[in-house]
Every structure is written in structure tokens, then in C-alpha cells.
């Protein structure tokens, strides 16, 4: 199995609000950046979405070192997930995303590392800048869409 490093970050301009995510996958020094956004989301959803999009980009089983500034994602993977599965995901934030994680992570070995507050890690800072930029783009797009005219406007 290939050894790969993944850095993830998510950002939301409000909670909920326009959000962006970024995942940087590194294999043998080559970077692949996966990014995007949603108009009405939360930080936790964006953090987990970044990881899901990174896993979707992998075409074969990998040993993954995951670096995230999200305690929610790191602890979810390493501590809480088995309990959530046993409880049928009752009273869990984002059960739809965690179910996707179970499916997408199956062929991989994933070791999460929580990078508290980025701690100056250059790759996590890069992820953060891209995620915030994506969130801003989603917000700007939403502000420039004019609603269609109705009969009352005529």
C-alpha cells in the first residue's frame, strides 16, 4: 500500500453560512489539491467534507497520515466512531457524512493527527487559506445572484 499524507481544513463564514473546504494529498512530494464549497454549512461539515473528497480522489488502498485542525474529525475517527456505529448514529452531528466516511475509508489505514490551532504547520495554514478563499467565493457568488423577477415586480 502507498503511504500518503493528507492535510484537511474547512471554513464557514457563519455557523451555518457559506463554507469552503480544502484537502491537500501528498504522495512522494507531489501535491494534489481538492477544494470546493457550499452555500449553507458549518465548520464541522466542511472539515469532514474535505476528508471525504480526499478519500474519493484515491484510486487504491493507502496508509494515510491525516493532519487536521479539527478535533471533531480527529477524535471522531480515533475515538468516537465505533460508539456512533453501535448506537446507529443517533444524536450524532453529520451522520450522513460519517456513514460516507465508513464506506470510503474501508480500504485504507488512517491515522489522524490533530494539529491544534494549526500550530504554524505550513501545510495546514495553506489548507486554511484555500478553504477560507473557497468560502468567500461561495459567499460572493450568492451575493451576486439576483432573484428572478416575479409578477409583483412588473
- What CATH number is attached to the domain comprising 76? 3.30.420.10
Give the pLDDT of residue 118.
60
Q: Domain of 97?
A: 2-153
Q: In this structure, what are the phi and psi dihedrals at residue 15, rounded to the nearest 5 degrees?
A: -140, 85
Active site residues: 9-10, 47, 69, 118, 128
pTM to 2 decimal places: 0.88
Cα separation, 99 vs 97, whole angstroms: 5
The domain total for the chain is: 1
Nearest to 124 by CA among 7, 12, 27: 7
What is the Rg, in whole angstroms, of the alpha carbon atoms belonging to the chain? Answer: 17
Give the pLDDT of residue 68.
93
* Cell 474519493 -> residue: 56
Tens digits of pLDDT across the chain (154 residues): 999 999 999 999 988 999 999 999 999 999 999 999 999 999 999 999 999 999 999 999 999 999 998 999 999 999 999 999 988 888 889 999 999 999 999 999 999 999 887 667 888 899 999 999 999 999 988 776 555 555 554 4
Contacts of 68 (CB under 8 A, 6+ apart): 7, 8, 9, 47, 50, 51, 74, 112, 113, 114, 115, 124
Give the pLDDT of residue 154.
44
Give the pLDDT of residue 34.
97
C-alpha 30: how far from chain center: 20
Contact 111, 65 (CB under 8 A): yes
Amino acid at each position: 500500500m502507498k503511504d500518503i499524507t493528507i492535510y484537511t481544513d474547512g471554513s464557514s463564514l457563519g455557523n451555518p453560512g457559506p463554507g469552503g473546504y480544502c484537502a491537500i494529498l501528498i504522495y512522494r512530494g507531489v501535491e494534489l489539491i481538492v477544494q470546493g464549497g457550499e452555500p449553507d454549512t458549518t465548520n464541522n461539515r466542511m472539515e469532514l467534507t474535505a476528508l471525504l473528497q480526499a478519500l474519493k480522489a484515491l484510486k487504491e488502498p493507502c496508509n494515510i497520515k491525516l493532519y487536521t485542525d479539527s478535533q471533531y474529525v480527529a477524535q471522531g475517527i480515533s475515538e468516537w466512531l465505533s460508539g456512533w456505529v453501535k448506537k446507529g448514529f443517533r444524536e450524532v452531528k453529520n451522520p450522513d457524512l460519517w456513514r460516507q466516511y465508513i464506506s470510503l475509508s474501508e480500504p485504507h489505514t488512517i491515522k489522524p493527527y490533530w494539529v491544534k490551532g494549526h500550530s504554524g504547520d505550513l501545510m495546514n495554514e495553506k489548507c486554511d487559506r484555500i478553504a477560507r478563499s473557497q468560502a468567500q467565493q461561495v459567499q460572493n457568488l450568492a451575493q451576486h445572484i439576483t432573484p428572478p423577477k416575479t409578477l409583483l415586480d412588473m
